[in-house]
Amino acid sequence: MNGTGNLIVSNDISHTRSVSGSDADGIRFFGSGNVVRKNYIHDIMASDSPGQSPHMDAFQTWGPATNYIFEQNLIDKHPSQQQGFTIEGLAQPVGDIVIRNNVFITRGTGYQPNVNAGDMGIVTNVTIANNTMVATNGAVEYAIWLFPSLRGAIVKNNAMYDHGNSGSPYIRIDGGATGLDIGFNSISKSNGVAPKGSPFAGDLWLVNPLFVNSAIGDFRLLPASLLIDRGIALPQVFDDYNGVARPKGLIHEIGAFEYQP
């Protein structure tokens, strides 16, 4: 994907293949001023690229790429796909990227980040807000990895389930990353074991998110969920995964879904 002013909407992307070392990403994005909305990316599998060892992301850029919005996408990662987003700065500029109101489902184990930002060159002003990130096969490592070359990031109002463990925080922050504004995320663990490190300001720590039915991928909130009215208003986020205006109640919810009775 390249160019300016494009809308990439409602595509079903799966079974991408690596050819002669090309890797097997869902969408590679470049250019400026584009919106990527309501796409379903799933079943990107190493077995579809026999004889190769592809690097597999739902979304990847190495630049230039600026003024992007990714919203209301469903990223269902096959167990052999580890990364959701990889945002690198090899070709400048790379920045002003908003990742909001997306659902990430992780089916693998171990290393399973949903967003990697700031590797291989300067990346500026990344917003990761009001996403729901759920691991389905027990606790995995960090949900987000912020690299040393990141200059400015907002990470707020994300609902994270089974990311982080006793040896890994829910967000990995490498020395050198600057301008970080992190907090008001919910951290939930099926085994009750806290991730490495401490909560950020406003975090909900080891709470049951009370999803409607996580077994079938329904991550809306039940009436008793502690994620309701516990987020923080952000100018970058004014609706939810389904396009419902925020807030419906007094305060924004944490996660991709605004609660509706």
pLDDT of residue 97: 98
The token duo for 180 is 């970080």
Per the DSSP assignment, residues forming a β-bridge with 95 are: 66, 124
pLDDT of residue 163: 98
* Single pTM value for the model: 0.97
pLDDT score of 261 more than 90? no
For 194-247, write each residue's pLDDT tens digit. 999 999 999 999 999 999 999 999 999 999 999 999 999 999 999 999 999 999
d(C-alpha 66, C-alpha 64), whole Å: 7
Detail the DSSP E strand segments found in 62-130. 65-71, 74-77, 83-88, 94-100, 103-106, 115-119, 123-129
- Quick one: pLDDT band at residue 94, thresholds 50, 70, 90? very high
pLDDT of residue 111: 97
For 39-67, write each residue's pLDDT tens digit. 999 999 999 999 998 999 999 999 999 99
Identify the residue whose tokens are 């990223």: 75
pLDDT of residue 161: 98
Region 1-8: mean pLDDT is 97
Q: Where are the domains of the chain?
A: 74-221
Contact criterion met (CB below 8 Å) for 155 and 126: no
- Report residue 77: phi and psi, to 5°: -85, 120
Mean pLDDT of the chain: 97
pLDDT of residue 253: 98
For 125-153, write each residue's pLDDT tens digit. 999 999 999 999 999 999 999 999 999 99
